[in-house]
Structure 1
Amino acid sequence: MENGKKILNNFVKSKFADQNELKKALFQAGVAALDEGWTFMDATFQLGGKARDEGLSADDVEKILRNAFSEEKRRTEREAEQKAAAQAAQAAAQPAQAPQAQAAQAQPGMASGYAAMGPTVISPISATMMQQMIALGLDNQSLELLQNFKIDPEALSIPWPAPDWRKDFAKLLAATFKPDETVEFKISNTPSGSREIVSKIIAQDEALKKIMKQLDGPDGALLTINAVKGGADATDESWHYRYVVVDNPKMTLAKQLAYYKALNLPCAALVNTGANSVQAWIKIEAHDQEEYKERVDFLFQTLESQGFKVDDGNRNPNQMVRMPGVLRNGKQQYLIALEQGAKNFTEWREWAEYSLDGKPLVELASDSEEAPKKDVTIIENVLRAGEFFLFTAPPKSGKSLALMDMALSICHGEDWLGNTTNANDVLYINLELTKSVFLNRLFLLGEKRNLQPNTPKFGFLNLRGTALTPLEIAQLIAKRIQGAKKLENHDYKVVVIDPISAVLHNPKSSRLSGSPHQILMQMVDSIIALTGCAVVTSTNIGEYPYLESRADSVISLTPVEGSLNTYQIKGSFREFPKTLARECSWIYPRFIV
């Protein structure tokens, strides 16, 4: 495989006469940039700038680079490469294999060099939007923010500089200062700056372009965030306490924009710094220093509580910020947008106190134009993802084996107790058995059912003897599921807890106050809320009536009088019709309909 740096160098140096060749080369360079650790924004500016110079439209550039940076697509590509390599090795070992047969095994691809996107992402938002988020390089924290506040990821796309971007300085001044106020600006890393009345700068018009070029340099140019002198009609010092700057260079550009948008910050302007940050001019609109300090304290504390740390140096009302309209080490400092979010600080503060308390927000039915797609069906007419399923039966009747049989059935998409299942990854939480006993039971079931017991779709977590509270167990399960999805390409849709009563039998849980039934239900609800998985467990008949009343689906097995090892199956479901009673037999190690 060609070296990534070589691909990037070749792309930058090459000239392209053919548009299709350019698109293919840009895609390959985007993939190489991802492998070399570039951010999406780095690729957009450096590779995208080259492609635009060669005649490619901005829309085509963004589409191709997003495709190249898609994690799902890259995973699919790697799997295809591995499969192709295995097929090549097999072909080498069997030279007599017909070319037609080899071709039949090949993975379909796009002639232009674009690979098809990976599997659909199951999410409260659309797969297309999720792919856009992934392409922007957002992490879980950013994705959660966007989903919670229903922010379209398209809003996070940083626009290209305007054709007249050299005049962005004048545009910013006209929007944020009064004409007779005075501002100070300078080249970075110089001891003193220049002061000028805003109206005089704006009046330069076309001549401003030449002036801005003189400020180009390795470190760019700076501007005071607030006026250094008020206008003639100023009655107080509000001109000096109007704005504060917010940014976090340790975050990606897209993540900073996600915060600004999701937290509804009252932004007067957004400025690209020409490096790795977007500076937001936040409206403070204080009348004096005391009010300024109080409002900035509230703003910074709110941001930090949401995971966005701002440097304390930014509190200074005399802080100098990036001036749009100049080049910084060859990259443009330019105006991204004006007027975003809440109209003023007072409106934003009311919104923040209402919306950022960590509690669910009121949602409107009118937010949905049509009924949303239902969650993934795990067991037809029995269970969907995000639901709680309870299996009840008499003591020592084989409940644990029944749960393991269900889990193995779901992994393979095979029937369970006469119900059709759909193949999905299952995470089994073992709280009772040793690892040896657990695996021996699994292999015995696989042998009896002629199913592969060591399928990669069956994951298990041994928590026997682990001293964790029910909430800590829920958090651990969520952490393992998220890690498996991100690092191991396992998308668990079902969590089986066996036995759920064992959660209460450890020193940390025994010290908890409250009803055991409610504590267990809180753990189940937490797992569902954190992962979106279906949660499955079992109890003795009548052991936990509160769990039975709260479960979305319940299947109960009761002994048939006069018939040894025969049980009647009854099912009641919140989202599906009740099933007719029928019988099953216990033939070790499973129930058979």
Structure 2
Amino acid sequence: MEQKKLNLKEVLEYIDPVDCSYEEWLNVGLALHHEGYPMFIWEEWSANDGERFHPGECESKWNSFGSYTGKQITGATITQMAKDNGWTSSRQWDNTAIPFGAMVMANPDPYKIIDKTWVESADIEIPKHYPEEQRVADLIKYLEILFDQEDYVGYVNTVYTHIDSKDGHEIKSPTKGSFGRTQNQILDALRSNKKVDDAIGTLDEEAGAWIRFNALDGKGVKNNNVTSYKFALIESDEMELGKQKAILEQLELPIAAMVYSGGKSIHAIVHIDANDYNEYRTRVDFLYKIVQKNGFTVDKQNKNPSRLSRMPGVMRAGKPQFLMATNIGKESFKEWEEWIATVNDDLPEPEELDALWDNMPDLAPSLIDGILREGHKMLIAGPSKAGKSFALIQLCISIAEGKPWFGFDCAQGKVLYVNLELDRASCLHRFKDVYEALDQRPTNIANISIWNLRGKSLPMDQLAPKLIRRAEKKGYKAIIIDPIYKVITGDENSADQMANFCNQFDKVCTELKCAVIYCHHHSKGNQTAKRSMDRASGSGVFARDPDALIDLLELEADNLDESKLAGAPVDVSQCTAWRMEGTLREFPRFKPVDLWFDYPIHRVDEGGFLSMAEFDSAQAKGLDKMNKRKQAAKEKKQQQLVDAFNIAAAESNFSNRADIKRVAEIMKVSERTVRNYLKEIPIYKVELGELVERVNG
């Protein structure tokens, strides 16, 4: 066995043999045999299916694998089965080999609604007598539910005898059967003859009879002869009948007809309601996936729309193929699909405000007074070299020691710093350097934990569960992730992808009941003309998702009069100056805080030396340029409006008046655009919605 490969024994933990068909169970054994694993691995795993496991069966099969000549089954079969059940392998983004046994479990499967081990068998009463009257009634009801009057119905009441290649026994199989009669014709025959045999032909009561549950074109019985893709068949030969019925009912499947096959299975004819074959395949694949995930070992050979199912109203080897139920579960596939998506969503139920009005829940206590509550999220954004990481390290220390952070009091508690960017030694030295620069004794240094992940970080959706597992029961008040570009999954400019990314922070907050604080960089270009919440790079989701956004913009301290800097607590020539602004959800906006970045710490400008400072010259020049472009564009619009007005007024011979529609035609814009121009450039006014009058000649 190659040690560099994934440990298939561990992957098997994500596959329940109870949910496997016989073929899937056999493929697991073949894959383990091919990959060089010992037989007992397969046997131990198989034993988890108490109903079907038989001691010695695995060994017997295993010994025959050496002469197996079928399609080669490898370990990839096992990993794919595990993926279908929610497992995903951990992937290193530098293309290095996946470590032996390295994996993570995906989020709990929202489509797994039923735990098969807790399903109680439903009662099934198989009639001892199946009188002809009831047989006819069952078949009539079945045909009326599944078909329209002019639909051609395919059915089989004749068989041919052959030898089963597997065990050598003689078996009877259905022929091509009949496909040239409509539903209405068959119903007429049933109602007039009062007997199933007389209506559809003599039956072989040892083999029973079959019917195709989708309408045909009257020319054949293949998939391309199907004219409507209304129904699909769900069946299992490998489960106890009572459990089959219980799972089918608990899944609220939109079952048009449920038929006892007269053998080992129930046939559920399920609404698919597809418009064409491609949609049919997609919906049936989803249907099979859901029932399989919920413990129903579905026969996957029944996917075709032209498939035969057992016909109700006939006998099979002394047992009735009878109609058990009709129109149960949801009314349509669409309604069922929506129900599946919501029934296991773990979302809270709506609350009535009047029941809570006099007994409001307590607000979460403040972690950073006036900025952030415990259990909430905060983003620090700023340009490169703003010292964002140092600011976060200062925050770690402030929380650990219960000291203010840039003038804002912090609650004391434990904090985890997730370092994604610095090598371990540099990170640790930074903490010591900041402590010393703050002249702060490390009295409560035990409150700080550091998780160094440089070169080992994962996408946030994979990192979150690992983080939660390591941090649970540690009692952290805050987890600081620095920086997030190392763990972003998807396109940072995509709102929906970034919404999913930010949801991972919510999971951490919820599971660990602590605050999550992280930093991100500004987008390129001038930022001074933007609101603080629009400066972070990528989708606006970044700024709108957190409960608190702290933004840093550089100030141009060099332009200040030297006399105004006299007595400043820092060496201005060695420092950079910054203005910290906040956009808050839980607290009122605070007055901007001016800071000196005096490496390695930020110091609050207590003396107000930076109060007259402007943003750095590069940004100021960019702002001036932007303002000039805006003014030039406004002047161009005004001139176009004046020219168009003069032309329209001359054409209409009105005194200082013009038709607004004609003005729009001349400018080659919509009337709505002209009205917007008039709001922006109020040199005309609109009267009666029709005309424009010059205000200033």
The alignment's TM-score, normalised by the length of structure 2, stands at 0.37
Higher helix share: 1
The alignment's TM-score, normalised by the length of structure 1, stands at 0.42
